[in-house]
Structure 1
Amino acid sequence: MGMALIRSVILDGPDFTAEAFYGVVGVGPHVRVRASDAPAAGFRSFVLSLVASRPKVATSAKKDTDPATRQIDDIVPLRGVADVKASKQFYVDRGLAVAKSFGSRYVESATPESSVTLALYGRRAAAKDAGAYPDGTGSHRIVIGSDAGPFTDPDGFAWEA
């Protein structure tokens, strides 16, 4: 089996205002929105990061003399998981290559031919990063589109082909 590629991130929800936002920031081909009335409450164990080399919506840079661009370099669904090592092995078994791994704390996939990079973090750490309580129930509200799918991972996240 060759290296699996993550093609897209699909956000499920009842509200399509997110679709307009992702279209404006230029990630429309990789981030899609799909209607879903599946119940969900609280933190759903993911944070979607858009990484840009130039300032865009916000920046921590003290000075920036270059013009802002609409170029997003990476789309990173950071997933909060119950067991980082077990989830890493699960994904490696399905062809996802690892770029960075810090034991049971953090894992990042290697995606040289894709703009989407999967990152794994412990659930509580991911919630803390998001500024949210770690509790949540119902739909995860995110589906990963990949040539490794379809399957459901150990934390109940769905992947589609």
Structure 2
Amino acid sequence: MTDIAHVTLEVTDQASAEAFYRTVFGPDLPVQVRGSDAPTTGFRGFTVGVDLRGPAAVDDVFARALAAGATAIKPPEAQQWGGYSGVLRAPDGSVWKLATSAAPGAGGADPTIERVVLLLGVADVAASTRAYVDRGFEVAKDYGQYVELEPGDGAVTLGLYERTGLAAEFGVDPEGSGAHGLAIGVVGGGFVDVDGFAWETAPALEA
């Protein structure tokens, strides 16, 4: 099993990005930022999902993000599959979904983060899945266009989604070029995957 300890977003203004994520999510988000001048335009090929305890929490955190400089892509609303979610773009350009599967009224406005999901937009889901399985990941869910891998003891769940499908799901234009602006901290050794996403060695997770 390969465990993801955190993800690192590469941003042009590190201090502003750190302030944004601290203000919106507090200290428990397993996301770091670091400065980078690597050029990137449009969709960066990944999204980050944060699962919260109820619709009121989604509304509150979404509003806090907008007040801190984020842009709404899809305002929070009930979904056909029964959940409640909204999509926004952070000031650094990364795309986020805030979601819950809880029923209306459940969870109150408790902002506790229940799960963080990193979705990578890939060219070939089957090929990318095989490459990750070869590195020790195990498949938890396989829907063809979307595969979710077992998180193990990691702080972040990894999902693989066909790139254009991921962009459509999150309501953004799939066009983009340049750096992904993302590094994934993994326990067990760094590498670059078949879609160009960089993985970096992270300290072992505490028991």
| Global fold match (TM > 0.5) | yes
Q: Is the 8 A contact 1:27 1:72 kept in 2?
A: no
The separation in 1 between residues aligned to 2:49 and 2:179, in whole angstroms, is: 20
Q: Does 1:142 align with 2:182?
A: yes
Give, in angstroms, the shift of residue 69 of structure 1: 1.3
TM norm structure 1: 0.89
Give, in angstroms, the shift of residue 30 of structure 1: 1.1
- Where structure 1 has 5 or more consecutive residues not aligned to the other structure, the ranges are none
Identical aligned residues as a percent: 44
Give, in angstroms, the shift of residue 75 of structure 1: 0.8
1:130–1:115 Cα change, 3 Å:
same
The residue type paired with residue 72 of structure 1 is: I
User: 1:9 maps to what in 2?
Assistant: 7
User: 1:26 maps to what in 2?
Assistant: 26
Aligned-residue CA RMSD (Å): 1.9
Q: Is the 8 A contact 1:94 1:148 kept in 2?
A: no
The separation in 2 between residues aligned to 1:117 and 1:146, in whole angstroms, is: 12
Q: Does 1:111 align with 2:151?
A: yes
The residue type paired with residue 11 of structure 2 is: G
1:67–1:82 Cα change, 3 Å:
same
User: 1:50 maps to what in 2?
Assistant: 50
Q: Does 1:79 align with 2:116?
A: no
Match of 1:133 among 153, 163, 173: 173
1:63–1:75 Cα change, 3 Å:
closer
The separation in 1 between residues aligned to 2:8 and 2:127, in whole angstroms, is: 24
Deviation by residue 1:2-56 (Cα, 9 ceiling, x = unmatched): x110110100010233322322313545100110010000111111111112332
Q: How many correspondences in the alignment?
A: 158
User: 1:158 maps to what in 2?
Assistant: 198
The residue type paired with residue 112 of structure 2 is: Q
More helix by proportion, 1 or 2?
A: 2
User: 1:69 maps to what in 2?
Assistant: 110
TM norm structure 2: 0.70
Range 10-19 or range 52-61, more displaced:
52-61
